[in-house]
Amino acid sequence: MEQTLPWVVRELPPPGSLDLWLLRVSDVPIGILDEQVLDATERQRAATLMHAADRTRFTAAHVALRRLLGSYLSLRPEEVHLGRDTCPCCGGPHGRPTVLDADDRLFFSLSHRGDLAVVGTAAAPIGVDVELVPDEEGTADLAAMLHVDEQAELAALSPPARPRALARLWTRKEAYLKGLGTGLGRDPALDYVGSGRPEGPYPPSGWTLLDVPVDRGYAAAVAVRGELTVDGPLVRRLAGLDVVRHTCDALQTARTPP
């Protein structure tokens, strides 16, 4: 289920709930992304990306993230100061992303791949992941990194069914690892989240895992610590104009056909 919403001041997600947001990058007007709201680190990361499409996706995703976080915290997007928690694996400063000096009831996660970006927010640690469905060769490479029981479940499927099943499983796995704050710094083979079967994942103790409905050719999932008290997930779709410069000239350019 999706709905398009205008930019407004938002209430923080209450305990037991989460908010999910989806942006299709191809909907974003070219050339007027609101890059000025990004900080120096984000601009530098974007500049290191070789392909223009990757730079556009990264920039659009991070502008959307900043605008969403600002709407929860009553801050301008450029006033949102992002940092990292301590990594649970090694104690380094590269754990779960966080908003510095902000309300400790707001947790968030961002993922982007291909033409899609997904943002999740909650009152508890949360992770989201979106991936393209791989080809058969990519499926075999990723499957070799999984829990032995997950490998066996995928191997039991017919070859044509494996790529989609693997994509569902892998996004569940990465969403959980992002929620932990480790990312792939933790061996994906350690945790069992179940095969990619449609009846659902098997979350590790203390976590909720959900598949997220996204565009054809993709899979996505969200992991949040604790139990949800609401049905979900509701995915709110962002419009392309939500991540461009909000000036008369910029909006006119976006609305004028080439």
Give the model confidence (pLDDT) of 43-83 as tens digits: 999 999 999 999 999 999 999 999 999 999 988 899 999 99
Half-sphere exposure of 242 (CA within 13 A, CB side): 26
Q: What is the DSSP letter of 19?
A: E
Helix axes of 136-143 and 148-155: crossing angle, nearest 10 degrees: 150
For strands 218-225 and 2-4, give the pairing. Answer: unpaired
Give the model confidence (pLDDT) of 137-191 as tens digits: 889 889 999 999 999 999 999 999 999 999 999 999 999 999 999 999 899 999 9
Give residue limits of the domains in the chain. 2-253
Give the fold, CATH level 3, of 2-253.
Answer: Ribosomal Protein L22; Chain A (3.90.470)
Average pLDDT, the chain: 86
Dist CA 131 CA 141 (whole Å): 15
Identify the burial level of 189 via C-beta atoms within 10 angstroms of its C-beta, where 0-12 means exposed, 13-18 middle and 19 or more buried: middle
- % of the chain surpassing 90 pLDDT: 64
pLDDT of residue 187: 94
Give the 3-state secondary structure of residue 33. Answer: strand
Dist CA 98 CA 95 (whole Å): 9
Structure token pair of residue 248:
């008369």
Contact (Cβ atoms closer than 8 angstroms) between residue 80 and residue 69: yes
Could you tell me the pTM of the whole model? 0.88
How would residue 7 be classed by pLDDT, with cut points 50, 70 and 90?
Answer: low
Amino acid at 210: L
Dist CA 99 CA 81 (whole Å): 6
Dist CA 228 CA 222 (whole Å): 12
pLDDT of residue 196: 62
